[in-house]
């Protein structure tokens, strides 16, 4: 039996290809990688607190997120 992953889903973007992302409140709660990114070849999905400071840094990959609205 073959195990399918999001690796075959071309609608999803590759994960961790940028070092900084701008996030809107409509995208909260914030996770890295983002829900529209492939998870199969990235680190485990982690939810990041961004509400208080307007910024968050992923502890796994170092990607910087900025809340823009």
Q: What is the pLDDT of residues 13-25, one digit of tens each?
A: 777 777 899 999 9
Give the pLDDT score at 48. Answer: 97
Task: Say how many residues make up the chain.
Answer: 69
**51 lies in some domain:** yes
pTM beyond 0.95, yes or no = no
- Domain with 27, as residue range(s), is 19-67
**38 lies in some domain:** yes
CA distances from 8 to 26, 52, 56 (A): 27, 36, 29
Strands 46-48 and 30-32: antiparallel
Inform me whether the pLDDT recorded for 38 exceeds 50: yes
Domains in the chain, number: 1
**44 lies in some domain:** yes
Other beta carbons within 10 angstroms of residue 67's beta carbon come to: 18
Inform me whether the pLDDT recorded for 28 exceeds 50: yes
**13 lies in some domain:** no
**14 lies in some domain:** no
């Amino acid at each position: 039996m073959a195990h399918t992953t999001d690796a075959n889903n071309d609608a999803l973007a590759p994960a961790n290809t940028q070092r900084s992302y701008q996030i809107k409140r409509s995208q909260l709660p914030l996770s890295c990688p983002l829900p529209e990114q492939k998870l199969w070849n990235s680190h485990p999905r982690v939810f990041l607190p961004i509400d208080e400071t307007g910024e968050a840094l992923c502890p796994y990959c170092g990607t910087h997120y900025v809340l823009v609205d």
